Amino acid sequence: MFFTYLPMFVMFAIVGLIACVMFIGGQFVGPKHPTPEKLMPFECGNDTPGAGQTKMSVKFYLTAILFVVFDVEVVFMYPWAALFKGLGWAGFASMLGFIAALIIALAYCWKKGALEWER
């Protein structure tokens, strides 16, 4: 049983080794010239009004969470589309239910104003 999964474990070990080498290599090889200008807080090319004291709008977090939720749910559609012919009518009906739930959730978010940035 172990030999069945051995290639996967070898791949994980190689990937972990490469990640560690790159991380440690970046610490030693990368140029380090900290200046007062480089050490200042920076966000999107604009000076920040305050370092950590500024509060973000709740709309920002709500939009981010909605994006993640709908993005993850759409990812579930790819395997269904790849196996569409083999799933038959039961698979089609289950995906219709899934899409209906997505549409209901989207309509609810839209009605509550979660998709409007400025208000």
The structural domains of the chain, ordered by start, are: 54-119 (1.20.58.1610)
Q: What would the mean pLDDT of 59-65 be, rounded to a whole number?
A: 77
Predicted confidence at residue 44, as pLDDT, reads 66
User: HEC states along the chain?
Assistant: CHHHHHHHHHHHHHHHHHHHHHHHHHHHHCCCCCCCCCCCCEECCEECCCCCCCCCCHHHHHHHHHHHHHHHHHHCHHHHHHCHHHHHHHHHHHHHHHHHHHHHHHHHHHHHCCCCCCC
The backbone region for 40, taken as left when phi is positive above 0, alpha when psi lies in -120 to 50, beta otherwise, is beta
Predicted confidence at residue 115, as pLDDT, reads 76
Lowest mean pLDDT among 11-20, 28-37, 74-83, 109-118: 109-118
Q: What would the mean pLDDT of 59-82 be, rounded to a whole number?
A: 83
Percent of the chain having pLDDT more than 70? 84
